[in-house]
Amino acid sequence: MNLKLKIWRQENANSKGGFEEFQMKDVSVDSSFLEMLDQLNYQLEEEGKDPIHFDHDCREGICGMCSLYINGEPHGPTQTTTCQLHMRSFKDGDTIVIEPWRATAFPVVKDLVVDRTSFDNIIQAGGYISVNTGGTTSDANEILIPKEVANEAMDAATCIGCGACVAACKNASAMLFVSAKVSHLGLLPQGKVEAKKRAENMVAQMDAEGFGACTNTGACSAQCPKEISLTNIARLNREYLSAKFTSDNN
Domain positions in the chain: 3-110, 117-246
Residues 231/119/15/102 CA torsion (nearest 10 deg): -10
> For the packed helices 175-186 and 117-126, what is the interaxial angle rounded to 10 degrees?
30
Rg from Cα positions in the chain: 21
Residue 162 · residue 65 · CB < 8 Å: yes
Quote the CA–CA distance of 85 and 42 in Å, as a whole number: 20
How far apart are alpha carbons 113 and 124 in whole angstroms? 22
Reference 174, options 124, 133, 123, 139; nearest CA is 123
Model pLDDT for residues 100-154, shown as the tens digit of each residue: 999 999 999 999 999 999 999 999 999 998 876 565 666 667 778 899 999 999 9
Model pLDDT for residues 53-99, shown as the tens digit of each residue: 999 999 999 999 999 999 999 999 999 999 999 999 999 999 999 99
Q: Shortest CA distance to 108 belongs to which of 69, 160, 149, 161?
A: 69
CATH numeric code, 117-246: 1.10.1060.10
Q: What is the arithmetic mean of pLDDT over 176-192?
A: 94
114 forms beta bridges with 108
168/163 Cα distance (integer angstroms): 9
For the domain 3-110, what is the CATH code? 3.10.20.30
